[in-house]
Amino acid sequence: MSMTLIGILGLLSLFVLLALRMPVGLSMLGVGLVGTVVVNANQFITVGMSSDQAWARGLRIAYSNLSGETFEAASNYNLLVIPMFVLMGSLAGVSGMSNDLFKAAYRWMGHMRGGLASATIAACAGFAALSGSSLASAVTMGRVALPEMKRYKYDDALSTGSVAAGGTLGFLIPPSGGMIIYAVLTEQSIGRLFMAGVIPGILLTLLFIGAILFTVTRNPAAGPRGERATRSERKSALISALPIFAVVGITIGGMYTGFFTPVEASSVGAFLTFCVALFRRSLSMGALKTVVLQTMNATSTVFLIIIGAFVFIPFMSLTELPANLVEILTSLPIGETGILMVIIAAYLFLGMFLESMAMLVLTIPVVIPIAIGLEWDLIWFGIIVVIALEMGMISPPVGINVFVVKSIAPDVPMAKIFSGIWPFWIAMVVMIGLLIIFPEIALYLPQKLVGN
């Protein structure tokens, strides 16, 4: 059996397990382990070893690989940013910082046509800078914003679409869990990736607000104006949101200036958020227990995915399937931009069936060799991949963020929610186009980052 065929069968087995609702991490772990046994046994049989000895040696190598890769993933110092940023987001939720953020955005933008939806996007962007989670941003802001938009008789498509799309900013604006995994799997600097996401994150936020303005210009009834806040109300709301701006400014600013490493910045951010929660007296024993359990649950899930990826990726390398795909793609007469379009189209297709984290860890072994072969900057490419994954989060028929919003607004039909995401989806396409034409959008801050 050829190595390429083993790789293809391994990928097909992985897709079958995922279709059967097997957890992503365990699916990759199982396929990687069995695949490593098969590949090594096949090689030993080829050189004349008996079948029993070949399979026994292949099994020993696979077990050794499993233990070694598991320890390497679990002991990776850089991965400490995951529990720290998850903790920071959980603390921000229970302390009421998310409510303050939406209130401030609402006071300043709510009087405009479509202002509540725009305020939701702005609040999602701000909360993303605390939580680093797309789902957390969608859930937290959806619970706050959807009742307000319903009260002002916003069109259901616009209100739910803005929450679903705004939540995806948690995957792009640092600290992003997706960026952390991308950095670990591609051996890139987490700090540089975080910095690379700042300007695209701001631009995409503005494009989302532009999509809302375009929608309400075409249909003014979709986003009626809210009440105009007084100057004192705006000032008061802004003061209430200052702790959020301070935490984000210190963590991101500390990384940019080189005063903090990403791990140190995550710890400082979690500590400052904890202090804010204590000052507001919002950390009861029940709330603290919830925060700890949420942090442990999210962290263990991500680490299981990473461990699975660490076992699956070496198996894919042994099969030489990624190298063969690189050779095929680079031989096509479509140029580098054409190859990039093929990769983005593949992400959009996979986004119809797979969750974003699953797509990321599944495709990295395939797309990174292509990027390296074409000498693309992996930081710039990582931002494009993240935005493509964001598009998958709101693409039918899966669109995990859409299902999250559906759980918050059960009376809104799924078709209505999906119809509301298309302006934001197009905004993401525009953002990718800007990154292709102007790579400096993503690369300017990383190039200025102190110590890199």
CA–CA gap between residue 135 and residue 357 (Å, rounded): 12
**Between the CA of residue 406 and those of 125, 224, 294, 396, 413, what are the distances in Å?**
20, 22, 21, 13, 8
Radius of gyration of the chain (CA): 23
Three-class DSSP labels, 313-328: HHHHHHHCHHHHHHHH
* Geometric angle at alpha carbon 351, from 200 and 78, rounded to 5°: 55
* Interval 318-327 mean pLDDT: 76
Reduce the DSSP state of residue 413 to 3 states and report it.
coil
Q: What is the pLDDT of residue 324?
A: 76
CA–CA gap between residue 292 and residue 314 (Å, rounded): 34
373-384 pLDDT, tens digit per residue, is: 888 999 999 999
107-132 pLDDT, tens digit per residue, is: 888 778 888 889 889 888 888 777 76
Enter the tokens of residue 10: 């391994």
Classify burial at 438, counting beta carbons within 10 Å of its beta carbon; exposed 0-12, middle 13-18, buried 19 or more.
exposed
169-188 pLDDT, tens digit per residue, is: 888 888 787 888 888 888 88
DSSP per-residue codes, 23-62? -HHHHHHHHHHHHHHHHHHHHHHHTT--HHHHHHHHHHHH
Q: What is the pLDDT of residue 450?
A: 52
Q: 47: how many CB neighbours lie within 10 A of its CB?
A: 7
pLDDT band at 398 (very low <50, low <70, confident <90, very high): low
pLDDT band at 441 (very low <50, low <70, confident <90, very high): very high
Enter the tokens of residue 171: 């995957």
**Between the CA of residue 274 and those of 99, 298, 310, 328, what are the distances in Å?**
16, 18, 33, 52
265 pLDDT more than 90: no
199 pLDDT more than 90: yes
